Amino acid sequence: MAQAFLFPGQGSQKVGMGRDLAEASTAARAVFQEVDDALGQHLFRLMVEGPEDQLTLTENAQPAIMANAIAVLRVLEAEGGFSLQAHGECVAGHSLGEYTALCAAGAFTLADTARLLKLRGQAMQAAVPVGVGAMCALLGADLAKATALAEAASAQLLSDGRPALCQVANDNDPGQVVLSGHREAIERAVAMVKEHGIKRGVLLPVSAPFHCDLMAPAADAMAEALERTSPAPMLLPVYANVTAALVSDPAVERDLLVRQVTGRVRWRESILAMGEGGIERFVEFGGKVVGPMVGRTLPDAAVTSVVTMADIEAFAKTL
């Protein structure tokens, strides 16, 4: 059965993450220690003990989610006889998860991935003052409805006379799309959902408006960082967020990672493309976030989430 390996994005962090893995496996402990050393901080302690508001900060959440997923992968490799290259056809990750996918596929070292994500989180947070931007999830919305709503919410100027920005940030599955932009425009969009035939709009508890044009300063920062730390050749190709297409050229992927900061996460299209490419089983490492999106996009696909030691042992038996 052809398999794709998936990695979650921001929002999958929670206090206590990684504790059981570290207690059970030296391979997991090694991952968390290497990330701590690379960042010069006690990130693993923050993951295990909190406080939650510090873990949720973008600059901490992004490397933490990556470290947890890679720890799952390393335990599976060490104790389950797993090989990414031998058992899979491709990798993909949702937003920051694309970096995790590249780390898993050998394009970035673990230490470099941690440093890149720390910088990415800091640059995204610094790009827009707190309170200026926002994001909302549209439930019961397809891409066409969400696009029309975003255009309507952008049509009216902001209260200070500037043009409003509201864009589709994430096309997650057939019934969930996320908008990002100026807070005023996003709040306007939430208030207008019924007019556009959308079931519900929910403001998201995020500290910055990710994946929209307001993130341009962060894209510039990542362009500089990725010039210094470019991807190496990959063990498996990656489906890029911004193109929903398979990429194996490291130079192309580097440019796409820069575009990803302001660009739409085309997750639904990526999953459809994987299905059309013959993928029958989707395995999410380190979370239970993107797996359900896959299930709503390809109802007949086999979907597995591998998070705990029990999950690892169960999945290893299927190899």
Is 211 assigned a catalytic role?
yes
Kind plus residue range of the DSSP H or E element containing 294:
helix 290-297
Cα-based distances in Å from 77 to 83, 85, 222, 260: 6, 11, 30, 29
pTM for the structure as a whole: 0.97
Is residue 126 within 8 A of residue 202, CB to CB? The reply is: no
- Out of 154, 182, 211, 305, pick the active-site residue: 211
- What letter does residue 208 receive in the DSSP assignment? S
94 belongs to the catalytic site: no
Q: Chain-centre distance of CA 268, in angstroms? A: 13
Instruction: Tell me the one-letter amino acid at 255.
Output: D
DSSP for 119-141?
Answer: HHHHHHHHHS-TTTEEEEEEET-
Q: Residues 61, 124: contact at Cβ < 8 Å?
A: no
Kindly name the residue from 95, 180, 270, 305 that is annotated as catalytic: 95
Query: Tens-digit pLDDT profile for the chain (319 aa)?
Result: 999 999 999 888 999 999 999 999 999 999 999 999 999 999 999 999 999 999 999 999 999 999 999 999 999 999 999 999 999 999 999 999 999 999 999 999 999 999 999 999 999 999 999 899 999 999 999 999 999 999 999 999 999 999 999 999 999 999 999 999 999 999 999 999 999 999 999 999 888 999 999 999 999 999 999 999 999 999 999 999 999 999 999 999 999 999 999 999 999 999 999 999 999 999 999 999 999 999 999 999 999 999 999 999 999 999 8
Distance CA 188, CA 281 (A): 39
Domains and CATH numbers, the chain: 3-127+214-316 (3.40.366.10), 133-206 (3.30.70.250)
Q: Residue 99's CB: how many other CB atoms inside 10 A?
A: 27
